[in-house]
Each structure stands twice: as C-alpha cells, then as structure tokens.
Structure 1
C-alpha cells in the first residue's frame, strides 16, 4: 500500500549490484499503479519433452504452469494422446503456447486463442524460438471465438485467418479456475476428441457433466503441480460416443 519511492529504488539498485557479481538477477517492484523493473521481467525456461528441448519465455505475473518437472509430464502425456489423432488442433486458453507448441508436431496445423496481451506476446516469441511453422495464435477470449465460429460476430483480429481452412477434429482447453461458460462447452462438444486440462476439480466436474452427454472419458490423469497443498491439476481425454 506504500509507493515505491527513491529510497526503495536506491536500496534495490545497491542490492542488485551486490548480487550481480555472482548471479544473473532481476528485480520487480510493485505498488498501487506502479511497477519498477530492474533488468528483465521474464525468465527463459528450457524443458526437455520426449527428448526435444522446448524454449518458453515466462513473463512475471502471467499465467503459466509453475512446476517445470510436472509440466514436462503433462506435455508428454498430451503428446501420447495426440499421436494417433489426425488433421488439425484447436486450443482455447493457450497462455504462452505451453501445450500448442509441444503438440504442433502431432498435427497438420494448430490454431490457438488467448485473451492476455502479455501471454500472446510471449507465445509469438516462443513460436519463433522453437521454429514452429504450423501454429497461429490469435488474441481472443473463448466467448469471442465461439461467436466468431458461430458467425455471430466478425473480428478484425481474425484478418488473414481463414477459419474454414482448418479441419480441427481435436480441441484442447486449459481454462481458468472458473472453468468454461455454457456456450464454450457447447462449442467444445462439437469436436471428435477433447483434451481438458483443469486446475479446479469442482468446475471440471461441472463441465464434464455437460461434455459426457456427447463424449466418453477415455483417459484421466492427476498431476501434482502444487505439492503440500490441496490444489491439484487434472487432465481428461474424451472422445465422441
């Protein structure tokens, strides 16, 4: 609740100088309507997934999978699911491209959406760093994308993206704790195969009540992203009945 004043900045600069002889170190200070960055506001993470190194820019205060070792297990699990699948992939809530980049090699083309500007910026950086050429990421919410797919609205952000050119038979969703709204659930239910990544078992249960009307659960996994807490990450694979 206190502003970052000149005294704070002076002390942080002195601490950064003291530690920089041994470490590559960055500082970020936050207060009300204030952000001070000394150095970078991101880290670069390198994950080895099924023998392939993937590079991800992780920006401060942006959504990401926090546990690198468990994230590798999640990505390898998702790759295993996608090996026998064909055609194209649609991903909603893609963040910085964590899943879409790792899964791009399993599909002809991948289309992904994300609402956060900083996450989309990181996703574009990660696409270039990993030399992925068959992945497009657009800045849209799941609700907006549903409206676009249903022909209810047109968006300038979709300029140059021909939605009809995609043959997406698989959809991956990794929604926030609130889960998906009903219209998005309806959209997701149109796909042959569904990969649902969830950080909230309660909203996952609610959404599965909707999705299992048309699909069967084929595989289910639990990933302990948050050791020593009650929180849990889940992965569900569904296929049309």
Structure 2
C-alpha cells in the first residue's frame, strides 16, 4: 500500500519522491494518541464499550479491550479504564468520549468527556483512584486525569504529557529536545515518525559552516507547540520568529524554547492573516511591540499547515520570498494547490529541491510530505 501511495503523490505533484521514510514500528502500536467514543453495545450485553469511526465511514465499530494501532501503553490502559467505566458510576455516568495520549518518555494523559456537569468532589477521588490503577497496569511515569464537560475542565496532574526527542546536530552530537503536548492542541500522533521528521528538517535546513550567511534567520508559520521551532532555531539559525494562533500552543512553544535553550527565538500569538498584515506593514499590532520585522533577514520560511493547507496570507508571504521554503504537509492535494498558487504569484523561479514522504499512518491512505523549495531570481 505504501508504494501505491507514493506513486499517487508522484503523479499528483509531477515529480519523483526522493526518499520514503517507513514507520519504524510497522503497522502496529504507532499511535501515541487516540479518541474513542463510549456507547452501549445493545446487541451484546448493553454495557458501555469503546467504539471508533472506521476511516471514511460514519459507522461506529466496537473494540475489544485493545486497539492494535495504538501504543502498547494505551492498550494496557484500555481494559482498566473500561472496567471502571462499566462498574463505577462516578466515572461512567454520562461519559461519551475517552481520549488517551501517551509519550515516548512515558507520560500518559486520560481525558474523559461528559454530557453533563461533573460534581468535582465525587469525580476527582474516583478519577485519582483510576489514574493510580492505570499507572500500576501500564508502568507509566505519571498519569494525568482530565474531566471535561461544557464549560468545565477538571485537571488532576498536568494538562499535557511531556515528550523528548533526540536530534543530531551537524557534528553528529545528539541533543534531547523537550516538549509539552497539551490535551486540546495538535501534536504529531506518531512519536517515532515525528522524531524522523525533526531530524529531516534539521538536516534539510543546515548549511555548511563556511557557507552560512552572517544574517541567517527563520520565519515559521503555524508553529504549534514549537515542535520544529526548538530544533531549527537552536541548530541552524541566528534568529527565529514563529507565529501560532492557539493560546495553549503558544504557551507550550514558549516553554519548549526556554527548556531547550533556544534563546534566539520568539513566538507571537497571531493568525497567519495577521502575520501577513504585519509582514507587509499594512497594520500595527500591540503583540509585535517588542518585534521589529525589519531586524530580520529570513533565509528560510517554514510552514506546517493543517489539512486545509495555507491561507491566502501565507501564500502571499511565501510568493514574495527569495530563499528557502520548507513545506510540511499532511494533505498532498492542498500542498499541490498551494505550490501552484505560490508559483503563479511569485516573481521568482521555483524549484522543488527535495521531496520526501513519511508514512505516518501505515495501511491508510494518509501520507505526510516534506518539500524543500528554493526560490531564486529568474
């Protein structure tokens, strides 16, 4: 199936793929986060059970007590959680969704989402007891429990998992990069593949020491929790400016930059549309009061947009850029659309120097892409 996905990408983009990164753990146990519905199985015993939507289907499929594509730690937790859902009304009553998120570092976070408000004095002791039972069953370093309903969010522990990825610098020395992956913010669901993507991005943006310009800065749009920002700003650039619209994502990115000693990077909470307005001096923003865009000389612009691709403002920024563009995409169709839009608007010559595939979700139609694009004078 992977070969067919790669051929489809090559036909779509009209270019051969330079390298394909297969999932290191194969097609089992790769998902670090899952979301499951909780619903009663009326055809079996009437008890609440976990269910999920099959890809491209609206029908729910009931699970047994395991989910093969999920990480081993999640699978060890599932039967413990399900047992409490079925037996303890403090946990199971009005529950309709369960989210589990683990990390390679060993953290585990369980979010229980309810239809009705929770009584904190009842729910919290039961959830704390469940968290301890899960920790004993899974060997997790810590288990964070979250109870959510409309306008209510009870957190026992941290509202995130800690993650760590080892990345090699240009001298082959390994550095550990730390991250907070929060409950309701995006993070890459395949931790092992994310490690590979981070290493690829570090290598793709690295210049030889004798070829590195004095002013060598990075602009990153859609930076999320600083997943790429921390590595790239520390290894390959003098100064970095990154933008993200999500409030929690910005907090996590700032934490990551400080933890990883990426001191020459700044994160601002701005949408890509607002960043476009600031970039072209069309509007002044209080959030940029300590940032002078004229002080930066961006050699690289890095984008990792959501599935719908780049917004109009981001396309506009990229079309005026002379230098390197790194485009990470989870949707080849919108990536093709965006590349064509940039090419049409830009006065510069565009060349895709490298195109790589990351099999983030084996045995599915999904394929993550990374493109190194060079914009040069015609």
Could you say whether these structures have the same fold, taking a TM-score greater than 0.5 normalized by the shorter chain as the test?
Answer: yes
- The aligned runs of 1:173-184 (5 Å cut-off) are 173-184=303-314
Match of 1:230 in 2: 365
Unaligned runs of 5+ in 1: none
Distance in 1 of aligned mates of 2:143 and 2:314:
41
Change (3 A) 1:217 1:17: closer
Question: Is 1:91–2:192 an aligned residue pair?
Answer: no
Deviations 1:173-192 (A, max 9, x none): 01111111233212112221
Q: Offset at 1:126?
A: 0.6
Match of 1:37 in 2: 155
- The aligned runs of 1:182-221 (5 Å cut-off) are 182-191=312-321, 192-213=323-344, 214=348, 215-221=350-356
Query: Secondary structure of the equivalent of 1:27?
Result: strand
Match of 1:144 in 2: 274
Distance in 1 of aligned mates of 2:236 and 2:191:
22
Q: In the alignment, is the contact (CA less than 8 A) between 1:4 and 1:31 conserved in 2?
A: yes
Match of 1:14 in 2: 129
Corresponding residue to 1:2 among 110, 115, 119: 115
Q: Offset at 1:18?
A: 3.9
Distance in 1 of aligned mates of 2:206 and 2:133:
50
Distance in 2 of aligned mates of 1:156 and 1:219:
38
Q: In the alignment, is the contact (CA less than 8 A) between 1:4 and 1:29 conserved in 2?
A: no
Deviations 1:143-182 (A, max 9, x none): 0010011111100000111110000021000111111123
Distance in 2 of aligned mates of 1:14 and 1:109:
47
Q: In the alignment, is the contact (CA less than 8 A) between 1:109 and 1:134 conserved in 2?
A: yes
Q: Offset at 1:9?
A: 4.1
Unaligned runs of 5+ in 2: 1-113, 169-173
Deviations 1:57-90 (A, max 9, x none): 1111111122111111111111111112641110
Change (3 A) 1:11 1:202: same
Corresponding residue to 1:103 among 222, 225, 232: 232
Distance in 2 of aligned mates of 1:79 and 1:91:
14
Q: Offset at 1:220?
A: 0.5
TM-score (norm 2): 0.61
Deviations 1:114-154 (A, max 9, x none): 11110110111111111111111111111001001111110
* Rg (Cα) greater in structure: 2
